[in-house]
A and B are shown apart, each in its own frame.
Chain A
Amino acid sequence: MRHVLSALVQNVPGVLAHVSGMLASRGYNIDSLAVGETEDPHLSRMTFVVVGDDHVLDQVRKQLEKIITIVRVEDVSSYDYVERDLMLMRVKAPPGGQRSEIRELVDIFRGRIVDVGPDEIMIEISGRESKVQAFIERMRPYGISALARTGRIAMVRSAEATADESEPSPAEARG
């Protein structure tokens, strides 16, 4: 089972080292870990993607909660939530037909071209992990020369029913 945990942590030196050290020493497998400040400068948010059964998840959550500088841990994936991953990618795109093809795919995936070189372009794309993954697969045949991802971040939706600001599913994108 894939779970997305979101932890609010005190913004003090060493928290990331503490958290990653604890996860490593207890042998928990983390697919992704992202950290950034929140609206409160004293607090940061860490988002973890953990794959494991309920027992593993329960232990990861409890061990995280034991770390003094971790304020709160939430299993975001047990709620209705939005998840995003930001990716930057440089892909081979010599001027001509290939570059047009790539531009079309970028549009379909709602990405952006953020830099254009003589033989390469840089693409920014964000979305759910599966969408980003699907885009990477589409780009492979053209030749990816560099790729960077932020890791997943996630947030629970407001209590009232809201509409997703329409993220195309990978299936739609492929279509």
Chain B
Amino acid sequence: MTKRKLEVVAEPDRPIIVTRRVLDAPRELVFEAFTRPEHVRRWLGPRALTWVVCDMDFRVGGRYRWVQRAPDGQEFAFHGEYKEIVRPEKVVSTFVFELFPDAEAIDTLTLEEHDGKTTVTTVTVHKTIEERDGQLAGGMERGMSEGYERLDELLVELSARQR
């Protein structure tokens, strides 16, 4: 299988991250893959993590919670609420990484189909800086979690294997 390119664009002046990726499947199927827990747990996140919780009450106002465990026992938990659902093209939801419960982001997932292929665009907007400015404390030394270094290594290993 040829590896498709993932576009990641971080806007320099705003806390917005955009990703774009083409998938070789019709939009309906991709929509299912993103919105049903039995599908999501098959692909979302690095392979090295195991799913602990994958609850998705997929309706407007419904909530989701995902917990994944790393081989060293560390757990990563995320939750949010579905704000808008336009089947099979758009989902807007909130996103909170539970290690930093005050920091909420808004995710917009958009699916477009061309010739049987689907372009997936995700836009993540972090809440306005002003809202959280008051919460900023001194001595912010929390660095990148080790998890990411491990992810990077894993990715290198994986792409090596695919070659």
Same complex: no
- B-to-A contact residues, CB < 8 Å: none
* Chain A interfacial positions (CB closer than 8 Å to B): none
